[in-house]
Amino acid sequence: MAIRSFADKDTETVWPDRRERRFRGALARAKRRPNVLNAVATLDDLRHNPGARLHRLGADREGQWAIAINEQYRVVFDWNDGPANVEITDYR
């Protein structure tokens, strides 16, 4: 499934080989994550990728999912027949 949309411009700049200062430390790993999202057809496909560390979010992000970039950053997204509203967020 291809990523359908991004939640913010900072996240969108990571994918087409542009640089965003906010994510500089995690940029190399972050650039691999859209390949993971684009390569899966279902959430079950992500569950079988242990490096992704897929988990469901709660509280104010109820209904969203996340995969790890590193200890600080996560790729957060909605799943409606594919990833949508994709964003990189700081978990600290």
Q: Which domains does the chain have, with CATH numbers?
A: 9-90 (3.30.2310.20)
12 or 15: whose pLDDT is higher? 12
Placement of tokens 């200062």 in the chain: 21
CA–CA separation, 52 vs 16, rounded Å?
21
Please determine, for residue 62, whether its predicted confidence score (pLDDT) is greater than 70: yes
pLDDT of 49 reads 85
13 or 20: whose pLDDT is higher? 13
Would the pTM count as exceeding 0.85? no
The closest alpha carbon to 40, from 91, 89, 75, belongs to: 75
Q: Determine the Cα angle at 72 with ends 67 and 76, to 5°.
A: 30
Q: Residue 25: what residue type?
A: G
The closest alpha carbon to 33, from 63, 64, 77, belongs to: 77
